[in-house]
Every structure is written in C-alpha cells, then in structure tokens.
Amino acid sequence: MDIIKGIKGVKDILPEETPRWRLIEDAARRWALCYGYQEIRIPIFELTALFARSIGATTDIVEKEMYTFPDRDGTSLTLRPEGTAGTVRAFIEHNRAADPLPQKHFYLGPMFRHERPQAGRLRQFHQFGAESFGTSDPRADIEVIALLWRLLSDLTLPGLTLEINSLGSSGDRAAYKPILLAFLKLQESHLCANCRRRMDTNPLRALDCKVPDCRVATESAPRLTDHLSPEARVHFDQVLAGLTAIGIPYRLNPRLVRGLDYYCLTSFEITSTHLGAQNAVGAGGRYDGLVEALGGPSVPAVGFAVGLERVSLMLPETSSSSNNECLYYVAAFGEKGTQLGLVLLDELRRIGLSAQCDYRATTLKAHLRQADRSACRYAILLGDDEATRGSIILRNLASKAQEELPLAGLSHLLKARTTSV
C-alpha cells in the first residue's frame, strides 16, 4: 500500500520545531497585549465575495491563488488568504464601531494561497496580524509600526530595515495615476505581461513588481510622494517625526505601494537581508476605505501582518533550545516502585512540574538510557528497595551526582527548589 504523504507546500511543524513557534507566538501575544490589542479568532473560511471585494478582483491573490470551493448549497467559499478581511467583516457584523473604547485586534493562525512553494512561502502559512480601528491620527500609524518593529527586534532577528512610503489620499492617487500611466505607456515594451495587463486597471502595481526588467523600466517613474495633498504631506511628516522621536529607523521607499483604492496614506514593510529574494518579513498600512467598502460605516483603520514562517527561518538557533525541556524523568521499576511511580508522576504534574516516564522500560538500566535520550535534567530512581524505605534517589543526569530524598512530600520539595533557582 502506498504511503500517503503531505501536500506540496503544506508543512508539518514537528515537536523539535514547535519551541521556536511557541517563542514567536508568545512574544507576539505579549507585545500585542502590551500595546492594548485584544485577540480575535476569525473563521478559516469565508464567503468568496469577502475577499474579492476586499483584496480586489484583479489581484493575483483573487485571480490565481485562492483556494475556493462550493458549499453544499452552491455558495462559493474560500480558505482565508489573509486575516484583515475577516477581521473587518467581524468588526462590521458585531457593530464594534458602537463601542466607545478603541477597537484594536490581533490574530494568529494559518492562511492559504496556491503559490509556488519556496523558502518562506508556502501554500499553508501562518500570520500574526494587528488591526487598529477608529482613528485617523498619525499616532495610530506610529503605534502599529512600533508594535511590529519592537516584536521583531525583541526576537533579535538580523538585518531588519523598515521601509515606508505614503500613498496619499484617494484624490492624490486619482491625480497621480494618469501621470504614472503616461510614463508606463512609454515603457510598455519592457514590462512583464502582468504589468501590461494591469496598466489600465491598477498601474501602481507596476512599481511594486519584483520582475527585474520591470524594476529597471520603472526606476525613473514619477513618485507619488511628489504629488501629495498638503493634508497627506502633513500626515506623512508626522508619522516620520514620530518614528524618529521613539528611535525607530526607517528608509523611504517610493516603490512601496498598495494598488487598491481603499489603501491610503502610510504604507510600510519590514525587510531582512537574510531572506533572499522573498525579503519581506511583515507589511502593513492605512486602509481607511475598507470598512465602508465592505458595507460598514466610514471608519479609518491601520494594521499589518507578519509571516511566522519567515520569522522562524530568521530566529537564532539558541532562542528556543530549552522550551521543550522536561525536568524530571521518573524511573519507576519493580512492582511497588511502578505503583508509587505512577502516583508520583501525577503529583509532579499537578503542581506544574514537567515529568515523564517510558512505560516500556522495566529495568533501571533501560530507564536511565531513556532518561538520557529525553534530555531531562533529573532522574528520580524509584525501585522496590526505595519504595520500602519510603525514599527516592534524585540523580542529576548531567553531573551524575545523586542524593536520597524522602518520598513523602517530594513533589512540594522539588517545586520549592525549582522556584528558588
């Protein structure tokens, strides 16, 4: 019988890898809560129309990359390719705009896109995202950028650069697009098929194209930041001044665009020199038009998403080496020792001490071999002789030093020792 293997582009995260993931997820939750963001858990799949309207029907994601399937009644459903649309849908559906408190949400979980699998880019991937609703104040932009920057810096990721741009208002872009389009028409023969196809519907996307020929052809393109309204210029200047005030370095990048109409003003991305061609770790921006575009009230919003696979690739090896460590291996053998060992295991675990035992081992030698393999710090030796004396032998598996301790009250004694270290 053939072995059934995993789907291409969908990876198992094995037990030796999960400490890295827990470290990232715990840091993400800690920093988000520190900034006043509350966790939201949105569905894995939504109506296809949600993503077509939010991401845009002419984008690569909607046209080529979504996992879409019919429900039993024929309704078109899609596995979420990103988290912002579902968060906005929940914000509208549950009337969160009526809450007088600021609505700041974060999410963690898998997303799905039918892409060509490569390092840091999978068909099932994971994101941490944050969305802030209700204020157009530049300080909200600064806050989400700071949250992402502080998180990635806390994880000591190497070679980080914050790139930032302004997309202006919808009026600014409407005035800029004919200027850009006129330039692109002159360069049309040098552009890739995708950029030529989208020139009339979404010309800004040509600036963000990663195809080398397109990048060369658009190097001298007119800059949107040279066509900002006074209000948009003031907003951008205040964001840059705020980043400088809190010590976050940045680099202006006029190519950094979001080609959808509801995106506006601040656009940012954090990249790393350690990721190769796919160098973006996280990205975001202001999307004041999205809530209204999805049927809600006119509510300004700003947010970001960061790819956890890419963060994991960059995380130093030593960052999470001890996260799977088990403290105690209970080497219980013999008739009485085995019975008491089962009770002791439960006592240790109930008071929060990690403990394990290989029930297949029946001799002390077999237990010690498994204790070494399990990378526990200590082995608790409990055979029939120890059971008769009412004691155990505590063995330090690194130094091999041993001491005899009373069995009665042992779990609390070990807990006190662990707490005092």
Domains for the chain: give ranges and CATH numbers: 18-169+229-318 (3.30.930.10), 328-420 (3.40.50.800)
Instruction: Give the pLDDT of residue 190.
Output: 81
- Residues contacting residue 300 through CB under 8 Å, at least 6 positions apart: 133, 134, 135, 136, 140, 286, 288
Please give the structure tokens belonging to residue 91.
Answer: 């914000």
Q: Which residues contact 183 (CB under 8 A, 6 or more apart)?
A: 218, 221, 222
The first and second tokens of residue 198, run together, are: 């989208």
pLDDT of amino acid 324: 62
- Render pLDDT for 263-310 as a digit per residue (tens, 0 to 9): 899 999 999 887 665 678 999 999 998 999 999 999 999 999 999 999
Alpha-carbon distance of 309 to 325, in angstroms, equals 23
Which residue, chain included where needed, has tokens 């390092």? 119
Task: Please tell me the predicted confidence (pLDDT) of residue 178.
Answer: 85
To the nearest 10°, report the CA torsion of 395, 396, 402, 403: -80
Q: Which residues of 278-295 are buried (b: 16+ CB within 10 A; e: fewer)?
A: bbebbbbbbbbbbbeebe
pLDDT in the model for residue 186: 81
Q: What is the dihedral of CA 189, 174, 292, 107, to 10 degrees?
A: 50
pLDDT at residue 172, rounded to an integer: 87
Report helix, strand or coil for 91: helix
Distance of CA 20 to the CA centre of its chain: 12
Encoded amino acid at 326, one letter:
C
The DSSP output letter for 62 is: I
User: Which bin fits 351, alpha (ψ -120 to 50), beta or left (φ > 0)?
Assistant: alpha
Question: Residue written as tokens 């980080």?
Answer: 160
d(CA 165, CA 353): 50
- What pLDDT is stored for residue 121 in this prediction? 75
pLDDT at 403: 96
C-alpha distances out from residue 232 to 131, 163, 258, 260, 283, Å: 21, 18, 16, 17, 20
Q: What pLDDT score does 187 carry?
A: 76
Task: Output the pTM of the full model.
Answer: 0.86
pLDDT in the model for residue 50: 93
Q: Kindly give, in sequence order, each residue whose CB lies less than 8 Å from that of residue 354, ignoring residues fewer than 6 positions away.
A: 325, 326, 327, 328, 348
CA–CA separation, 144 and 104 (whole Å): 10
Q: What is the pLDDT of residue 260?
A: 64
Closest CA to 32 of 132, 137, 138: 132
pLDDT tens per residue, range 198-226: 777 778 878 877 788 888 888 888 888 88
Mean pLDDT by 10 residues, the chain (421 residues): 89 90 95 95 95 73 82 95 94 94 94 79 92 95 96 91 93 86 80 80 79 83 88 96 96 81 88 74 93 93 94 77 76 95 95 93 94 92 96 95 95 88 59
In degrees rounded to 5, what are phi and psi of residue 304?
A: -155, 170
- AA letter at 84: T
Mean pLDDT of the chain: 89
Instruction: Kindly state the helix (H) or strand (E) to which residue 172 belongs, with its residue range.
Output: helix 170-186
Coil vs helix vs strand at 67: coil
Considering only CA atoms, which of 147, 142, 154, 148 is closest in space to residue 271? 148
Q: 181 and 203 in contact (C-beta within 8 Å)?
A: yes
